[in-house]
Amino acid sequence: MAHAREHHPDFDITRSWALPLTPPPGEYESLEGYLRRIGFTDEQIHYTRRSFANASGDSPDKISAIAASEEWTDTEAGDGDFRVVGGYVRMLDRLAHGLDIRLNTVVERITWGKYGVQAQTTLGDTFSGDAAIITLPIGVLQSGSLTFDPALPDDKQATIQSLRMGPGMKLVFWFDQPVMPEGIGAFYSAFNPPMIWSPSVGRDVRGQVITCFATGDYARTLHALGEAGALEAALQTLKTELGLPDLTPTAARWINWTADSYALGAYSIVPPGAHHARPALASPTPPLFWAGEATVKNAWGATVHGAYVSGRRAADQTREFLLRPQMSS
């Protein structure tokens, strides 16, 4: 990646995003529209589509230019990505310690009002509380599979509908022997899927796992092929990029979030004209409070740290709400 950035300035700008942002993006301008307006070439747009836009969850013509620019200029989260030793389960185990966690419990109706909240499940169970934190993905909120009684305020419903859930999937392959070139842990492809990396790099494991990642139009194309077709298309991309026509995986798996009824997509997308939607979604409607990656600032959407921060914020809001009657008495 560093070699490519050093020798191809067109590619480097789509990784650094060191743009002057003058003129600034328009309110209803897409990322692709804005980049073309400031002089991006077709090749640079292509780089953007398979790198930044694919990582952001959709095609550049469907992403708000303002939301994208806020991500380029945000420095609060620091630089680089980090791997959780032992996997995300370590983080979840710590957060869930001592809590009553119910798995395989699908809520289909939430009754809420000044007397509290009742959550009714598909199995007929009812859970009651003084408040609730809603963390459902945008795709699920938009699907109507969860009924709110009474209905959410009109402005909250409009906010939910103004965001989008980007289609996304991973295609994971396991090979008995390492197949990536020495010193290469990730690369972008001109084919589909466009983003490829090995989570085996730096680990003492047998063989090698390679993950192919696709969102937006890339994911829509693969989704239409079905599981077998999508895996074969991804394997063909690997064969071509690695120069290994006989490459054969020991195992393969298709992780299709778009078809997952509890996700209905990869993560939230801010379309042109909706750059104010995330903070509006985060706004409390007591006794309901809102968290999840879709409720943080645009620069932190679609990230684990964004989801984590949103949970802490919603917990603080809920605590303040629950303590308010005691403070006023």
| CATH number of the CATH domain containing 133 | 3.50.50.60
Out of 226, 259, 292, a domain closes at 259
User: Cis peptide leading into 23, omega within 30 of 0?
Assistant: yes
Sign for the pseudo-dihedral over CA of 184, 189, 195, 200: negative
- The residue range of the domain holding 9 is 2-73
Q: 151 and 215: one domain?
A: no
- Where among 52, 73, 94 does a domain terminate? 73
The two structure tokens encoding residue 208: 């090698």
Q: Is the peptide bond before 287 cis (omega within 30 degrees of 0)?
A: yes
Share of the chain above pLDDT 70, in %: 95
Is 147 in the same domain as 23? no
Instruction: Please check whether residues 119 and 188 belong to one and the same domain.
Output: no
Residues 159 and 200 in one domain: no
Q: How far apart are CA 110 and CA 287, in angstroms?
A: 11
Stretch 18-32: mean pLDDT: 95
**Higher pLDDT residue, 216 or 14?**
216
Same domain, residue pair 144 and 282: yes
* Residue 1 DSSP symbol: -
Question: pLDDT-derived band of residue 1, with 50, 70 and 90 as boundaries?
Answer: low
Residue closest to 281 by CA, chosen among 252, 253, 310 = 310
User: Are 255 and 308 members of one domain?
Assistant: no
Is 58 part of any domain?
yes
Residue that finishes a domain, picked among 259, 279, 304? 259
In a domain, 97, yes or no: no
Helices (H), 138-214: 138-143, 154-162
Query: What is the phi/psi pair of residue 148, to 5°?
Result: -100, 130
| Domain identity same for 152 and 274 | yes
Is 158 found in the same domain as 23?
A: no
**Are 245 and 293 in a shared domain?**
no
In a domain, 280, yes or no: yes
Minimum mean pLDDT range among 101-110, 198-207, 238-247: 198-207
Kindly provide the residue ranges of all beta strands, DSSP E only, lying in the chain, ordered along the sequence.
107-113, 116-121, 126-129, 132-134, 147-149, 164-165, 168-175, 186-188, 195-197, 208-215, 251-256, 268-269, 288-290
Q: What is the radius of gyration, based on Cα positions, of the chain?
A: 22
Average predicted confidence (pLDDT) for the chain: 93
Whether 230 is covered by a domain: the verdict is: yes
- Are 30 and 60 within 8 A, CB to CB? yes
Given this model, what pLDDT does residue 7 score? 58
Higher pLDDT, 307 or 13: 307
Would 84 be classed as within a structural domain?
A: no
State whether 191 and 249 are in the same domain: yes
Q: What is the pTM of this model?
A: 0.92
Structure tokens at 111: 């009754």
Identify the pLDDT of residue 6: 61
How far is 173 from 193, CA to CA, in rounded Å? 13
Range with lowest mean pLDDT among 203-207, 225-229, 244-248: 203-207
Nearest to 161 by CA among 318, 274, 36: 274
Q: Do both 275 and 151 map to the same domain?
A: yes
Considering the domain boundaries, does residue 90 fall inside one?
Answer: no
What is the number of domains present in the chain?
3
Q: Can you read off the two tokens belonging to residue 78?
A: 């620091």
Is residue 130 in some structural domain? Answer: yes
What letter represents residue 64's amino acid? Answer: S
Residue 174 has φ and ψ, to the nearest 5°, of: -115, 130
d(CA 278, CA 288): 16
Q: What is the CATH number of the domain that holds 244?
A: 3.90.660.10
pLDDT at 313 over 60: yes
Per the domain annotation, does 205 fall within a domain?
yes
Tell me if 278 sits within 8 A of 297, measured CB to CB: yes
275 shares a domain with 153: yes
Structure tokens at 258: 């778009």
What is the SS3 assignment for 18?
coil
